[in-house]
Structure 1
Amino acid sequence: MIIIGIDPGLTCTGWGLVAKAGSRLSHVANGQIRTDASAGMADRLVELDAELTRVILEHRPDAGAVEEVFVNVNPQSTLKLGQARGVAMLSLARAGLKVAEYSTKVVKKALVGTGGAEKAQVQAMLKVLLPGVKLAGADAADALAVAITHANMMGSHR
């Protein structure tokens, strides 16, 4: 089974795929999608959708999960993040995948054991769980963490 995790963002959306066979996990791919900051909002959302659709069609995941929105100090940033998250959820749902959602705290707790873990701790755990993984960046690492969380919670998530 292949699971895709998405860490949505308008400037940069991370994606990561893991394969689950029994209790074993292995890295499939990870990457980041950057939209053109000089383009209009609608064009950026279309670009994000097109790239996520390309990744989904290339890797054909069986399940998908998206990180939940956290509220920023800046309401404009929160709105933009929410729009990118909506596109991510739409891309997965259009591909016929059920979409799970996990908060940042749940993802950190699932990987590191504490919801207050630092990004460096999450990335270190990814390297333990997925030996040899080359991370495309911080957002791709977060997306892989979402995918692993979903892989481990799928049985209890239903």
Structure 2
Amino acid sequence: MDRVIPVLVLLVVLAVLFFLMWKGWKNRQASQAHIPEPPRPTREPAGPGHPGMYVATTYATDPLERINVHHLGVRTNGTMHIEDDRVVFMLDGIDGIEIPFTAIDEVTTASGMVGKFVEKDGLVVIVWTLGDTQVATGFRPRLAHARTEILESLALTEKVK
């Protein structure tokens, strides 16, 4: 009986904390409701792509502000494909993302963004326009040489601004 009351208090505190986290997540989603759903892959990507980790999509001006709507803020494994007119992320457990070259504003590298910090220039970051919002999508290639291949492929693509 001596331990029942402290255990119950602890369970209530944990339940309140989980409720507040859930409420905060829902409020953030509501504040980002103006962000449209990203384009989904219209066709299967050709070729094997570059395996790695999809880090997240953030506001381009704030790499620590995760975009929570449409699963854009979920960190997961996936494969990045660079094709003639688009970049495609095929993601594990969630819908893929297709970024048309016409929407890409900049391709750069970073040492980190929300949820993932690595060595200098370890992330490939694609800054692009989604609706009226400029966003940044981060990807961490599994193989170190793939980062260079990705950057060269995107730099050689004349359609990328």
TM superposition score normalised by structure 2: 0.26
**Greater C-alpha Rg:** 2
Structure with the higher fraction of residues in helix conformation: 1
Instruction: Identify the structure with bigger relative contact order (alpha carbons < 8 Å, sequence gap 6+).
Output: 1
